[in-house]
């Protein structure tokens, strides 16, 4: 089976980069995949993609050695299994509140006897290659997002869930959990300390901690703080930032 490059990078002590696909388009997914991210995530929770968009976007990403991830909209076994069958090598599950929910997410990602995943990798076996059935449980990454008051209260139990590979920090919803306004790359000391607590608890249980960032300055600090993977940029935000820069530069050079 095709090895999961993210796991290989972790085994080498490296911090992989993750890009975000908010736009439901195969061509933009392909362009993002050719920029050098270690992994790309199709966002079904807050992005514009629907279930029917996942297959062509994963096919576009798979033209490169970028690892395809999917953030499902909810902790729903059917949605998780479908994304895996289409070729996702990593699943991010939002709003995980307790150990039972974390265990359910893991079970949906694992074939028996380790889980409840149904047999039917219509594309995954072709993308993953030989021995997919026997090796998928070891290669597929499952991440639980810890971002609610209940999730924080049950952090230790979530991180102790057998088979969970990582916890993923969603900074905006985490801000809600801390009674703050949602903000990307939140510099508030309480928010930073909470993120560090999530990281330390994950590491205590031998799993990884992933930080969702909005740009290189905050992401580089997250790497220095010991996070194991950083989401660096989304297609949508890069599009907006690039257009705004060109417009601002034009105005600066022609007005006055």
Query: Catalytic site residues?
Result: 46
Residues 6+ away with beta carbon under 8 Å from 232: 17, 18, 19, 37, 213, 215, 216, 219
Q: How far apart are CA 176 and CA 171, in angstroms?
A: 9
Say if residues 202 and 196 touch (Cβ distance below 8 Å): no
Q: Please count the other Cβ atoms lying within 10 Å of the Cβ belonging to residue 144.
A: 30
The tokens for 21 are 């696909």
- Residue whose entry in the numeric block shows the structure tokens 């597929």: 140
In degrees and rounded to multiples of 5, residue 218 shows phi and psi of: -70, -40
Q: How many Cα atoms occupy the beta-carbon half-sphere of 157 within 13 Å? A: 13
Q: Please count the other Cβ atoms lying within 10 Å of the Cβ belonging to residue 37.
A: 21
């Amino acid at each position: 089976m095709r090895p999961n490059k993210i796991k290989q990078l972790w085994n080498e002590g490296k911090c992989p980069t993750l890009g975000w696909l908010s736009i439901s388009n195969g061509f933009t997914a392909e362009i993002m995949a050719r920029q050098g991210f270690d992994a790309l995530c199709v966002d079904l929770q807050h992005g514009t993609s629907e279930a029917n968009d996942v297959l062509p976007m994963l096919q576009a990403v798979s033209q490169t050695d970028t690892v395809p991830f999917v953030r499902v909209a909810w902790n729903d076994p059917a949605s998780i299994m479908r994304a895996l069958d289409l070729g996702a090598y990593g699943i991010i599950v939002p709003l995980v509140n307790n150990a039972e929910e974390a265990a359910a997410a893991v079970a949906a990602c694992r074939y028996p006897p380790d889980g409840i995943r149904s047999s039917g990798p219509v594309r995954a076996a072709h993308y993953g290659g030989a021995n997919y059935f026997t090796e998928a449980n070891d290669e597929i990454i499952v991440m639980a997002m810890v971002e609610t008051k209940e999730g924080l209260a049950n952090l230790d139990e979530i991180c102790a869930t057998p088979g969970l590979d990582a916890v993923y920090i969603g900074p905006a919803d985490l801000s809600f959990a801390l009674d703050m306004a949602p903000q990307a790359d939140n510099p508030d000391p309480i928010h930073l300390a909470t993120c560090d607590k999530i990281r330390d608890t994950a590491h205590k249980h031998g799993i990884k901690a992933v930080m969702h960032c909005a740009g290189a300055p905050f992401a580089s600090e997250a790497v220095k703080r010991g996070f194991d993977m950083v989401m660096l940029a989304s297609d949508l935000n890069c599009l907006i930032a690039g257009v705004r820069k060109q417009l601002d530069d034009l105005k600066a050079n022609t007005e006055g």
